[in-house]
Amino acid sequence: MNDQDIISVAAVQAAPVFLDKDATIEKACRLIAEAGENGAKLIVFPETFIPTFPYWSNYHPEGPPWARTFTKLFKNSVEIPSPDTDILGQAARKAGAYLVMGLNERDRVYGGTLYNTLLFFDPEGRILGKHRKLMPTHHERLFWGFGDGSGLNVYPTSLGKLGGLICYEHHMTLSKYALYAQGEQIHCGVWPGWPGNPDYDNIDIVHTASRQYAFEGQCFVICACGWIHPDMIPEDFEFKDEMDCRSRGGTTIISPLGHLVAEPLLDKEGIVYAKLKMDHIIKAKAFVDCTGHYARWDVLNLNFNRRPNQAIATPRRPVELQLREELTELLARANTLTHEDLLGELHRLTGAD
């Protein structure tokens, strides 16, 4: 990527094939191919597109019915890596594009937990990494576990530095800054596009948060929102009559100055395209650079724990003990080192000149 690049991107607004993983992946591959044929080099899907966002999460039935629907969601979720991710990677490779996919992830280590996950692929179809939503919102905690800092990453790519957050993570100030501070240039912000009923329409919140992210971080934001119509819910889904899945979508793309570069797509499926002029990042940073000339790290800085959250943790050795062991090993082979090499090793261990 250089400052003169113009990058074609696509944000998909589409309904999943409700609670059907295989059919939803097949639909995703068709949409990836379409976006690739239209020149997109980055293709972004909404939050938990595979196999669906749990729109019934705001309806709380008794235990057994809830467990039945959770089981169906679990069985139709994706392990990483797996043959399912291989299929998505092949679609990205055929399209010649980076792919960011929102999905329900089955934990392959402990076996009983789902995560709300963003999965990143490169144009060769290889997995770059994944981000699990750090804090499921309110009723979502019935379905998803908590992510950790190991997936809060920005990926260097040929397009620029690529990162992403999920839904209300865009209201978690420190999570945002963790990506800004890694030099993020293209941000994938994914949302469910829901709720969209007259009493509570989430679109204004989504667009306000996304435009604020773009301006605050001086980066482009690909805002990919889900969409579904009540008629798309199968008749045999046991909470069809109780849940309200009306959604409006709202997919759009935003410049580093907070301006819309693609009009929001509302109330239907489609793909939103835009061309990103990368020198707009420089123009934005000329005024406010939140990780450069407009930052005061000596006054305020971020404590960022990037270690994976594991059930069994190996205690870390005290620094003094580790240093003593390494110095002992160095002294044992000191006679085999040149003077310069010995000084170099001492400098590495102690930081002394």
Q: 3-class DSSP state for residue 270?
A: strand
Q: Catalytic: 21? A: no
Q: 3-class DSSP state for residue 226?
A: coil
Q: Catalytic: 133? A: yes
Distance of alpha carbon 219 from alpha carbon 221, whole angstroms: 6
User: Per the omega criterion (within 30 degrees of 0), is the bond before 51 cis?
Assistant: yes
Distance of alpha carbon 215 from alpha carbon 200, whole angstroms: 26
Q: Please say whether the beta carbons of 155 and 163 come within 8 A.
A: yes
What six digits make up the tokens of 253? Answer: 């793309």
Distance of alpha carbon 257 from alpha carbon 221, whole angstroms: 10
Q: Please say whether the beta carbons of 9 and 244 come within 8 A.
A: no
Q: Please say whether the beta carbons of 224 and 188 come within 8 A.
A: yes
Pick the catalytic residue from 47, 105, 140, 184. Answer: 47
Pick the catalytic residue from 21, 130, 133, 176. Answer: 133
Identify the sign of the CA torsion 260, 277, 120, 211.
negative
User: Per the omega criterion (within 30 degrees of 0), is the bond before 195 cis?
Assistant: yes
Q: Cα 123 from chain centroid?
A: 17
Pick the catalytic residue from 27, 41, 130, 167. Answer: 167
Bridge-based pairing state of the strands 260-266 and 220-225: unpaired
Q: Catalytic: 240? A: no
Q: What residues act catalytically?
A: 47, 133, 167
